[in-house]
């Protein structure tokens, strides 16, 4: 039976890139789906109407979420397993027709964007183009293709300008092989061996989220260094994805630092709600962390960015109690700004 789940405002149902075998139906409230336009890279927001399903394609297709589901106001959502949704849809043919219309429209939009990209007059050199392709495959979790293209880049450009970023892509992709779209290993498969099914064969839906294969400490260090380098270049979205890869692994010595890096990336992109969600998760998991003061400061910065100095101030007060001497002046400056805004 579907389950009724109450989500509070400013929470997140799932993030882009998550594996989740659930389908959702909005009963009441307001939910927004945020994704990236493949043509422009700009954020696209779609608002879910009451009575609409969402999260259908990725759940049925057993691939990562293509969008993030953000809760704008207190909302009641019904969650279906894949089997429950399929049973429900078979008994309600109107839903199948509605889904076909939606999918058809989305496919036309994607086709239009791809045509526009193919017709683009903008030129790029071969080295940059090859690196872009490898990065795109890696970000979309097509790890086998990413490894192949990255290896080709290293062979053609042994002293290339993107060599530092290519290394982690090759290492991580090798570790994650078999986890890309439609290539999840089935129970009984030998680790590291290709699937016995033909490459075009469809796999049965998974019964739960598929977790990435563990990485060794050296690979995690490489991913973290890549994230740090991207952050120094202020490539916040790319850096966030690298940090989030380490966070999802939940292993190694860089997890706490990756939370902090990811929070900074989200704040720099004015993704205040997601940053608050991430920071709250960190506090729950690492209540005694030495990085707690910095996380609390970012939570305050997010509320300050949302024009809520009254909510930001308690976070700054708590952060000040835990902060080291280098962080204290910054927090005091933020405190003063909030107090001034409150009493203005």
Average per-residue pLDDT for the chain: 77
Task: Give 302's pLDDT tier (boundaries 50, 70, 90).
Answer: very high
Is the per-residue pLDDT at 82 higher than 50? yes
Is the per-residue pLDDT at 155 higher than 50? yes
Count of beta carbons in the 10 Å neighbourhood of residue 280: 13
**The predicted structure's pLDDT at residue 205:** 41
DSSP letter string, 55-66: SHHHHHHT---S
More reliable by pLDDT, 94 or 315: 315
Smallest CA-to-CA distance from 139 within 218, 49, 213, 36 is with 36
Smallest CA-to-CA distance from 339 within 319, 321, 312 is with 312
Count of beta carbons in the 10 Å neighbourhood of residue 232: 9
**The predicted structure's pLDDT at residue 298:** 93
Grouping H, G, I as helix, E, B as strand and the rest as coil, residue 84 is helix
| pTM (predicted TM-score) | 0.42
Task: Give 41's pLDDT tier (boundaries 50, 70, 90).
Answer: low
- Is residue 66 classed exposed, middle or buried when 0-12, 13-18 and 19+ CB atoms within 10 A define those classes? middle
């Amino acid at each position: 039976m579907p389950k009724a789940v109450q989500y509070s405002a400013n929470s997140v149902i799932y993030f882009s890139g998550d594996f989740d075998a659930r389908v959702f139906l909005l009963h009441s409230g307001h939910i927004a789906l945020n994704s990236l336009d493949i043509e422009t890279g700009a954020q696209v927001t779609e608002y879910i109407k009451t009575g609409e399903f969402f999260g259908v394609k990725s759940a049925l297709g057993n691939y990562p979420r293509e969008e993030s589901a953000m809760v704008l106001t207190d909302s009641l959502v019904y969650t279906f397993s894949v089997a429950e949704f399929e049973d429900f849809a078979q008994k309600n043919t109107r839903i199948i027709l509605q889904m076909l219309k939606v999918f058809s429209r989305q496919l036309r939009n994607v086709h239009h964007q791809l045509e526009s990209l193919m017709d683009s007059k903008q030129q790029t050199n071969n080295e940059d183009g090859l690196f872009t392709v490898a990065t795109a495959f890696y970000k979309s979790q097509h790890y086998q293709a990413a490894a192949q293209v990255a290896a080709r880049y290293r062979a053609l450009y042994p002293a290339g300008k993107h060599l530092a970023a290519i290394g982690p892509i090759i290492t991580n992709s090798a570790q994650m092989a078999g986890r890309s779209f439609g290539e999840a290993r089935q129970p009984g498969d030998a680790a590291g061996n290709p699937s016995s099914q033909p490459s075009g064969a469809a796999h049965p839906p998974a019964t739960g989220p598929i977790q990435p294969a563990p990485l060794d400490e050296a690979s995690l260090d490489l991913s973290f260094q890549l994230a740090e380098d991207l952050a120094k270049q202020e490539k916040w979205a790319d850096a966030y994805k690298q940090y989030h890869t380490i966070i999802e692994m939940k292993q190694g010595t860089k997890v706490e630092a990756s939370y902090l890096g990811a929070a900074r990336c989200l704040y720099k992109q004015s993704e205040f709600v997601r940053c608050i969600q991430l920071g709250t998760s960190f506090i729950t998991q690492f209540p005694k962390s030495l990085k707690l003061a910095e996380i609390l400061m970012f939570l305050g910065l997010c509320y300050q960015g949302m024009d809520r100095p009254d909510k930001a101030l308690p976070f700054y007060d708590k952060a000040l109690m835990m902060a080291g001497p280098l962080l204290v002046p910054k927090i005091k400056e933020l405190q003063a700004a909030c107090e001034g805004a409150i009493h203005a």
